[in-house]
């Protein structure tokens, strides 16, 4: 029984590590995107929030229930809010380049 328990804990740790590495890779890839307006910032944030929450739901839930859907909606909204806030602050502090890279 101990062997099964330690094996299960190891799988969970590796799954968490895999999700963290995947999230870091995706965020690093998305950092090169410079939104051109408020809509782009909200769109990018919502899509990243949805993507990450779907990865977590698929990895940790055996069935999709109301809690999973609420988590998905909250992740999308939080992604939109955070990205919009970062966009506004960065634009005000002039951290973005004058012309976006194409």
Q: pLDDT tens per residue, the chain (102 residues)?
A: 455 556 556 656 666 776 777 777 676 666 667 788 889 888 888 888 888 888 778 777 777 788 888 988 998 898 889 888 888 888 888 876 666 555
Q: Evaluate whether residue 100 is within a structural domain.
A: no
Q: Evaluate whether residue 101 is within a structural domain.
A: no
DSSP assignment of 11-69 equals HHHHHHHHHHHHHHHHHHHHTT---SSHHHHHHHHHHHHHHHHHHHHHHH-SS--HHHH
CA 97 to chain centre: 24
Q: Evaluate whether residue 27 is within a structural domain.
A: yes
pTM: 0.65
Q: Evaluate whether residue 84 is within a structural domain.
A: yes
Q: Evaluate whether residue 41 is within a structural domain.
A: yes
The maximal CA–CA distance of the chain, rounded, in angstroms, is 62
Q: Give the total number of structural domains in the chain.
A: 1
Backbone angles phi, psi at 98, to 5 degrees: -65, -45
* pLDDT score for 29: 62
Q: Evaluate whether residue 48 is within a structural domain.
A: yes
Q: Residue 83: give the domain boundaries.
A: 2-92
Contact 45, 26 (CB under 8 A): no
Q: Evaluate whether residue 80 is within a structural domain.
A: yes
Q: Evaluate whether residue 39 is within a structural domain.
A: yes
């Amino acid at each position: 029984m101990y062997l099964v328990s330690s094996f299960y804990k190891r799988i969970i740790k590796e799954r968490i590590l895999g999700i963290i590495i995947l999230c870091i890779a995706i965020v690093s890839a998305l950092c090169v995107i410079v939104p051109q307006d408020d809509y782009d910032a909200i769109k990018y944030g919502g899509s990243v929030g949805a993507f990450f929450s779907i990865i977590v739901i698929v990895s940790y839930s055996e069935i999709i229930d109301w809690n999973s859907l609420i988590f998905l909606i909250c992740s999308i909204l939080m992604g939109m809010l955070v990205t919009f806030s970062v966009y506004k602050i960065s634009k005000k502090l002039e951290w973005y380049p004058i012309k976006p890279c194409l």
